Amino acid sequence: MKLILTSDVGNLGEMGAIVNVAPGYARNYLLPKNFAVEANTRNIKVLDHTKRIIEEKVKKLKLTAKELADKLSAQTIILTAKAGEEGKLFGSITNKDIAEALEAKGFNVDKKRIILENPIKRIGSHHVKIRIHTDITAELNVEVNAE
């Protein structure tokens, strides 16, 4: 039986995929739980239309993410922290500190999107990556100065 999946089903396929399954599996599991709909011409046309709408939304999201990445790459964040004589910080600069500094400049970036391999523990210039979209990242320049 041919079906169009309306949600991701493990070991079968992702949402929007057209799959061939046993009639009993479709009747007893997929259709009652609304995991799939029958693959008739009407439902296939609706699926194509929905895919086009989703693709347009993704294009717009990627465009705005690219613009934000360009704006962030042009920024330099200056943070101050207490430091010792050799330039080692008493504590560290984390992604939360960077997110707060970006928010003060008018950028609303979630701290989970800021990629720091290790917290910043030295004075100087550091490059920090920010994942804005699944395949779009921005590189932010962070200057750490001693108090």
Asked if residue 74 and residue 58 are part of one domain, the reply reads: no
Instruction: Give residue 21's domain range.
Output: 2-64
pLDDT in tens, 67-109: 999 999 998 999 999 998 888 999 899 999 999 999 999 999 8
Asked if residue 53 and residue 98 are part of one domain, the reply reads: no
Is there a contact between 3 and 38 (Cβ–Cβ < 8 Å)?
yes
Rounded to whole angstroms, how far apart are CA atoms 77 and 61? 25
Q: Which amino acid type is present at position 76?
A: T
What's the Cα-to-Cα distance from 109 to each of 57, 69, 98, 118, 131, rounded to whole Å? Answer: 20, 11, 9, 19, 10
Q: Could you say which DSSP state residue 36 is in?
A: E
Q: Could you say which DSSP state residue 14 is in?
A: -
Domain end among 40, 64, 88 = 64
Q: How would residue 29 be classed by pLDDT, with cut points 50, 70 and 90?
A: very high
Asked if residue 91 and residue 60 are part of one domain, the reply reads: no
Domain end among 44, 64, 84 = 64
CATH number reported for the structural domain that contains residue 53 in this entry: 3.40.5.10
3-state secondary structure 81-147: ECECCCCEEEEEECHHHHHHHHHHCCCCCCHHHEECCCCEEECEEEEEEEEEECCEEEEEEEEEEEC
Is 51's pLDDT higher than 90? no
Asked if residue 109 and residue 138 are part of one domain, the reply reads: yes
Rounded to whole angstroms, how far apart are CA atoms 120 and 81? 11
Q: What is the pTM of this model?
A: 0.67
pLDDT given for residue 16 in this prediction: 85
Q: Which amino acid type is present at position 83?
A: A
Is 42's pLDDT higher than 90? yes
Is 60's pLDDT higher than 90? yes
Q: How would residue 8 be classed by pLDDT, with cut points 50, 70 and 90?
A: confident
Asked if residue 112 and residue 79 are part of one domain, the reply reads: yes
Q: How would residue 2 be classed by pLDDT, with cut points 50, 70 and 90?
A: very high
Domain end among 13, 43, 64 = 64
Asked if residue 73 and residue 52 are part of one domain, the reply reads: no
Asked if residue 115 and residue 88 are part of one domain, the reply reads: yes
Determine the distance from the C-alpha atom of residue 85 to the mean position of all C-alpha atoms in its chain, rounded to a whole number: 39
pLDDT in tens, 98-139: 999 999 999 998 999 999 988 899 999 999 999 988 789 999
Q: Region of 13 please: left (phi>0), alpha (psi -120 to 50) or beta.
A: left
Asked if residue 75 and residue 142 are part of one domain, the reply reads: yes
